Structure 1
Amino acid sequence: MSSDPKKNNSSDLENNFEDFLEHSLSGYISTSPRGEIIRINSKLLEWLGYNKEDLIGKRMSSLLAMGSRIFYETHLSPLLKLQGSFEEVAAELLLKDGKKLPVLLNGYIRNDEHNKPLFIRLNVYRATDRKVYEENLRLAVIDAEKTLLKERELSTLREQFIAVLGHDLRNPLGAIKSGASLLARSASSDRDKTIVGMIKKSSLRMEELIANVMDFARVRLGGGLSLDLKDVFIEPIILHVTEELRITFPERIVTVDFEVKKTINCDADRISQLLSNLVANALTHGSPHEPVKVIAKIELDYFELTVSNGGKPIPQDAIETLFEPFTREANTPSQQGLGLGLYIASQIALAHGGNLTATSNTTETCFTFRMPVYLS
Structure 2
Amino acid sequence: MSSDPKEPNNSGLENNFEDFLEHSLSGYISTNPRGEIIRINSKLLEWLGYNKEDLIGKRMTGLLAMGSRIFYETHLSPLLKLHGSFEEVAAELLLKDGSKLHILLNGYIRNDENNKPLFIRLNVYKATERKVYEENLRHAVIDAEKTLLKEREMATLREQFIAVLGHDLRNPLGAIKSGASLLTRSASSDRDKSIVGMIKKSSLRMEELIANVMDFARVRLGGGLSLDLKDVFIEPIILHVIEELRITFPERIVTVDFEVKKTINCDADRISQLLSNLVANALTHGSPNEPVKVIARIALNYFELIVSNGGKPIPEDALETLFEPFTREASSPSQQGLGLGLYIAAQIANAHGGNLAVTSNTTGTSFIFRMPVYIID
Taking structure 1 as the reference length, the TM-score comes to: 0.95
In 2, Cα distance between the equivalents of 1:37 and 1:4? 44
Find the counterpart in structure 2 of residue 64 from structure 1: 64
In 2, Cα distance between the equivalents of 1:256 and 1:26? 81
In the alignment, does 2:111 pair up with 1:111?
Answer: yes
Q: Would you say the 8 A contact 2:328–2:339 is kept in 1?
A: yes
In 2, Cα distance between the equivalents of 1:237 and 1:146? 49
In 1, Cα distance between the equivalents of 2:340 and 2:229? 23
In 2, Cα distance between the equivalents of 1:317 and 1:343? 17
In the alignment, does 2:43 pair up with 1:43?
Answer: yes
SS of corresponding position for 1:30: strand
Q: Would you say the 8 A contact 2:301–2:375 is kept in 1?
A: no
> What does 1:7-46 correspond to in 2, within 5 Å?
9-46=9-46
Q: Deviations over 1:121-169 (max 9, x none)?
A: 1111111111111111111111122222222222222111111111111
In 2, Cα distance between the equivalents of 1:231 and 1:143? 52
SS of corresponding position for 2:262: coil
Q: Would you say the 8 A contact 1:279–1:307 is kept in 2?
A: yes
In 2, Cα distance between the equivalents of 1:300 and 1:267? 21
Gap change, CA 1:86 and 1:169, over 3 Å in 2 = same
Find the counterpart in structure 1 of residue 161 from structure 2: 161
Find the counterpart in structure 2 of residue 99 from structure 1: 99
Q: Where does structure 1 lack aligned partners over 5 or more consecutive residues?
A: none
Gap change, CA 1:138 and 1:331, over 3 Å in 2 = closer
Taking structure 2 as the reference length, the TM-score comes to: 0.94
Q: Would you say the 8 A contact 2:262–2:375 is kept in 1?
A: no
In 2, Cα distance between the equivalents of 1:298 and 1:88? 64
Q: Where does structure 2 lack aligned partners over 5 or more consecutive residues?
A: none
In the alignment, does 2:275 pair up with 1:275?
Answer: yes
Q: Would you say the 8 A contact 2:61–2:69 is kept in 1?
A: yes
Partner amino acid, structure 2, of 1:287:
S
In 1, Cα distance between the equivalents of 2:86 and 2:201? 79
Q: CA deviation at 1:175?
A: 1.0
Q: CA deviation at 1:334?
A: 4.7
Gap change, CA 1:253 and 1:74, over 3 Å in 2 = closer
Find the counterpart in structure 2 of residue 263 from structure 1: 263
Partner amino acid, structure 1, of 2:276:
S
Find the counterpart in structure 2 of residue 289 from structure 1: 289
Instruction: Name the % identity.
Output: 90
Q: Would you say the 8 A contact 2:287–2:311 is kept in 1?
A: yes
Find the counterpart in structure 2 of residue 86 from structure 1: 86
Gap change, CA 1:162 and 1:2, over 3 Å in 2 = closer
Gap change, CA 1:126 and 1:338, over 3 Å in 2 = same
Q: Would you say the 8 A contact 2:329–2:339 is kept in 1?
A: no
SS of corresponding position for 2:180: helix
Q: Would you say the 8 A contact 1:314–1:360 is kept in 2?
A: yes
Find the counterpart in structure 2 of residue 228 from structure 1: 228
Q: CA deviation at 1:36?
A: 2.0
In terms of mean alpha carbon deviation, does 8-17 or 325-334 score higher? 325-334
In terms of mean alpha carbon deviation, does 78-87 or 53-62 score higher? 78-87
Gap change, CA 1:225 and 1:58, over 3 Å in 2 = same
Find the counterpart in structure 1 of residue 339 from structure 2: 339
Gap change, CA 1:188 and 1:2, over 3 Å in 2 = closer
In 2, Cα distance between the equivalents of 1:222 and 1:134? 36
Q: Deviations over 1:25-61 (max 9, x none)?
A: 1001112222222211111111111122222222212
Q: Would you say the 8 A contact 1:238–1:272 is kept in 2?
A: yes
Q: CA deviation at 1:3?
A: 6.3
In 2, Cα distance between the equivalents of 1:115 and 1:8? 44
Gap change, CA 1:308 and 1:128, over 3 Å in 2 = same
Q: Would you say the 8 A contact 2:28–2:44 is kept in 1?
A: yes
SS of corresponding position for 1:307: strand
Q: CA deviation at 1:99?
A: 0.8
Find the counterpart in structure 2 of residue 170 from structure 1: 170
Q: CA deviation at 1:260?
A: 1.4
Gap change, CA 1:236 and 1:105, over 3 Å in 2 = same
